[in-house]
């Protein structure tokens, strides 16, 4: 579904992506991991068209998407920090986003799932961080997008909301959706991901299943396996 070829990006003199090659097949959950400064955010923003690479190409379903915009109608993106207009109510924000995209939505199911019915008329400025994240999730999953990109989607969620989110992951996966997720919660990665893509210094350092990573590093849990990768690179 996604093919990235020889992607390079510099910010000033800092090389953030270095001849990066990556292929993501259609369907499944792919965890994009790496330490701070590894290039995760730049890679995601390049796929979204928010960052223009210096060289290389990004193909979605076999077609280059660089410097194009219409392909983004097939993508849903959840940012790590939801900077909503504080003067809007929850329902006003939902309606605004619906009008912008102008396609079928399933927000009512999600509003009920996350227990947000009583918050619809409240202004966003008055909501807690966890409640804002539920709004963020409703805005993300109410669209039927073939590619879903999630940056730290569990931030601020209570245990019940997290259980609901995991069920949504499975439902979307069963529909054949492709989900890219960044997170620092390794237990979530181990539970839901089909493959890990581990970035280090702007390059793909590992791509494969959690079990393959454990086998390669001779470790029994994912935290130690990733720590081993980092230690190995710095030896």
Per residue in 122-152, pLDDT tens?
999 999 999 999 999 999 999 999 999 999 9
- pLDDT tens profile 32-80: 999 988 999 999 999 999 999 999 999 999 999 998 988 988 899 999 8
Residue 188: both structure tokens together: 């979530």
Q: What is the pLDDT of residue 74?
A: 86
User: Would you kindly state where each structural domain of the chain is located, as residue ranges?
Assistant: 2-234
Confidence band for 234, pLDDT divided at 50, 70 and 90? low
pTM of the model: 0.92
pLDDT at 230: 86
Distance CA 165, CA 154 (A): 8
Check pLDDT > 70 for residue 14.
Answer: yes
- What is d(CA 194, CA 182) in angstroms, rounded to the nearest whole number? 13
Alpha-carbon distances, residue 116 vs 111, 113, 135, 136, 227 (angstroms): 5, 8, 8, 12, 39
pLDDT reading at 172 higher than 90:
yes
Average pLDDT score over residue span 175-192:
94
The reported pLDDT for the residue numbered 235 is 46
Query: How many other C-beta atoms are found inside a 10 Å radius of the C-beta of residue 114?
Result: 22
- The number of residues in the chain equals 235
pLDDT score for 181: 96
Q: For residue 166, is pLDDT > 50?
A: yes
CATH class of 2-234: alpha beta
Cα(235)–Cα(232) distance, integer angstroms: 5
Report residue 189 CA to chain centroid gap.
12
Q: Are 173 and 179 in contact (CB under 8 A)?
A: yes
Residue appearing with tokens 């454990």 = 214
């Amino acid at each position: 579904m996604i093919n990235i070829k020889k992607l390079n990006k510099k910010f000033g003199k800092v090389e953030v992506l270095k001849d990066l090659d990556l292929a993501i097949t259609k369907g499944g959950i792919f965890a994009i991991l790496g330490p701070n400064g590894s290039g995760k955010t730049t890679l995601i923003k390049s796929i979204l068209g928010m960052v223009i690479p210096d060289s290389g190409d990004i193909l979605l379903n076999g077609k280059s998407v660089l410097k194009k915009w219409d392909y983004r109608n097939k993508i849903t993106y959840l940012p790590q920090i939801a900077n909503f207009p504080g003067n809007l109510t929850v329902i006003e924000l939902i309606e605004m986003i619906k009008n912008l995209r102008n396609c079928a939505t399933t927000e009512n199911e999600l509003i009920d799932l996350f227990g947000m019915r009583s918050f619809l008329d409240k202004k966003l400025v008055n909501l807690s961080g966890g409640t804002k994240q539920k709004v963020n999730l409703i805005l993300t999953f109410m669209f039927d997008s073939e590619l879903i990109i999630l940056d730290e989607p569990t931030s601020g969620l209570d245990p019940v909301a997290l259980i609901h989110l995991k069920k949504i992951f499975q439902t979307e996966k069963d529909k054949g959706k492709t989900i890219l997720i960044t997170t620092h919660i390794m237990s979530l990665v181990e539970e839901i991901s089909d493959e890990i893509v581990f970035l280090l210094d702007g390059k793909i350092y590992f791509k494969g299943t959690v079990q393959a990573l454990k086998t390669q590093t001779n470790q029994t849990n994912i935290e130690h396996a990733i720590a081993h990768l980092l230690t190995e690179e710095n030896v």
